[in-house]
Amino acid sequence: MGSLLGLCLGKAPTSSQLFLFFALGTDVQPGEEMEVIVEETISVRECLKIMLEKSGQPGDMWHLRKMDWCYEAGEPLCEDATLKELKICSGDTLLLIEGKLPPRGFLKVPMWWYRPPGPSGQWASQDLPSHAAPQVSSRQAVPTRGAPGHVPLEVSLLYLGDVEISEEATLRELKSQSVLIWHVLHAMVRAMALPFASGLAVQSPALLRAWAMESKRPSRLLRTNGCRLKEYKLGRRTEICLEPLQKEENLGPQDVLLRTQLRIPGERTYGPAEDLVWDTARGWTAGSLRQSVANFYSLPVEKIEIAKYFPEKFEWLPISSWNQQITKRKKKKQDTLQGGPYYLKDGDTIGIKNLLLDDDDDFSTVRDDIGKENQRQLGLGRKKSREALRAQSSDVFSNAGTPTRSRGPEASLSIHVGSFR
């Protein structure tokens, strides 16, 4: 009683068949999905062929991904596996994505060039020309710009291309293939006589630092050049960016690479970012980090304040000796910057304030103010949209004429709990 049934054209699928939706690309709009009925025992390759024929797409340079619960494309589906083995169910939506999957045991890794801001980053401080990237790929250079006066937190990325490589290959071999692509790009840039061409040369793969990316930002540092790619567990959606170095580095498992920025006294901005290698052999403590920062900048440890930057929130969290006055039992459990609230890792930005010249408690910048205001406006817009949708839904139900069930009178509720003493 009360169920809604839909009458659809075509013969109903049998118990061994699946009714699936599919669409082209990842930007799927409501009503653009197509439908197909296939046997659950067919392979993903056969299902892909059927969907390409029904959608009228030529060629075979496509692969399938399943739409996940948040309406985004998931991991690519293995073409040799059957739909039943992958637990594809009736009603699922599959996405036809351009690009053929690499053979089993191979990875197709999107590679980016990353130049952090600072004195050595000659073209990170300016926008890349829009006509440079299309000659290399359909993707454009992606400069992430901040407000004027906040250069250290900019990120500049240039897409190099996709590298197809075996999972058994080492990180050094991946860097070598990327350098070959980069030399081609460098030659093209020099031929175009662009002003930043002199800062693009790479002499050796050993002068490259590799990062796994998340949300178009360097996230996880890939340390050992001789380590095989499969040991990093990159996955099929991982993107990697390469950062040029002035000299070779050999980071150990106990070393943490941090971006440090010295705040300019009297101004809400920072100087150029510098790399600090923090040895955590003595523990991930606030005191150890403060001492390392003080030694790096030749400042008294009691005359500095440090804070970690959270770019997604535009906030700075001071790292102080907040746990010195608690009991030893709690200190042993809490005195680690790996856990909350800091979750310190490679690539994090650390702001340093020299108390000899600046005793202000504020670490924020003008860019942070702008970012927070944009987030607030975005939140207000979403709230208004939800309220409008809620009001529209209530109007629909109120005009539907559905009889409402009258509620009985409210009565008090008493709960008696027995004594177990």
Give percent of the chain above pLDDT 70.
Answer: 77
- Is pLDDT of 117 > 60? no
User: How confident is residue 187, by pLDDT bands cut at 50, 70 and 90?
Assistant: low
pLDDT value for 411: 76
User: Cα(91)–Cα(22) distance, rounded to whole angstroms?
Assistant: 10
User: Cα(396)–Cα(124) distance, rounded to whole angstroms?
Assistant: 53
Q: How is residue 22 written in tokens?
A: 């599919």
User: How confident is residue 384, by pLDDT bands cut at 50, 70 and 90?
Assistant: confident
pLDDT value for 73: 81
Burial 187-214 (b: 16+ CB within 10 A, else e): eebeeeebebbeebebeebebbbbbbbe
**1-10, 14-23, 388-397: lowest mean pLDDT where?**
388-397
Contact 240, 112 (CB under 8 A): yes
Q: Give the sign of the dihedral formed by CA 71, CA 73, CA 79, CA 81.
A: negative
User: Cα(161)–Cα(113) distance, rounded to whole angstroms?
Assistant: 10
Per DSSP, the residues of 218-261 read: EEEEE--TTSBGGGGT--TT--EEEEE-SS-----TTEEEEEEE
As a whole number, mean pLDDT of residues 146-162 equals 56
Ranges in the chain annotated CATH 3.10.20.90: 17-98, 106-244, 255-366
As a whole number, mean pLDDT of residues 237-250 equals 86
How far, in whole angstroms, is CA 4 from its chain's centroid? 41
For the structural domain made of 106-244, what CATH number should be given?
3.10.20.90
- Is pLDDT of 104 > 70? yes
Please give the helix or strand (H or E) that residue 210 lies within, else none: strand 208-214
- Is pLDDT of 296 > 70? yes
pLDDT value for 32: 80
Start-to-end Cα distance in the chain: 50
| Alpha-carbon torsion, ordered 367, 371, 372, 378, to 10 deg | 160
For residue 200, the 8-state DSSP code is: -
The pairing of strands 62-67 and 34-39 is unpaired
pLDDT value for 184: 66
Phi, psi (5° rounding) for residue 255? -90, 140
User: Cα(161)–Cα(202) distance, rounded to whole angstroms?
Assistant: 17
Burial 386-410 (b: 16+ CB within 10 A, else e): eeeeeeeeeeeeeeeeeeeeeeeee
User: Cα(368)–Cα(281) distance, rounded to whole angstroms?
Assistant: 34
As a whole number, mean pLDDT of residues 331-336 equals 58
As a whole number, mean pLDDT of residues 172-185 equals 78
**112-116, 147-151, 353-357: lowest mean pLDDT where?**
147-151
pLDDT value for 130: 35
The pairing of strands 240-244 and 106-115 is parallel
User: How confident is residue 300, by pLDDT bands cut at 50, 70 and 90?
Assistant: very high
- Is pLDDT of 145 > 80? no
Q: How is residue 195 written in tokens?
A: 């002003």
User: How confident is residue 368, by pLDDT bands cut at 50, 70 and 90?
Assistant: very high
User: How confident is residue 421, by pLDDT bands cut at 50, 70 and 90?
Assistant: low
The model scores a pTM over 0.75 = no
pLDDT digits (tens, 9 = 90+) for 11-58: 888 999 999 999 888 777 777 889 999 999 999 999 999 999 988 888
Question: Average pLDDT, whole number, for the chain?
Answer: 78
Domain at 17-98, CATH class:
alpha beta
How far, in whole angstroms, is CA 413 from its chain's centroid? 51
pLDDT digits (tens, 9 = 90+) for 304-321: 999 999 988 999 999 976
User: How confident is residue 196, by pLDDT bands cut at 50, 70 and 90?
Assistant: very low
For the structural domain made of 255-366, what CATH number should be given?
3.10.20.90
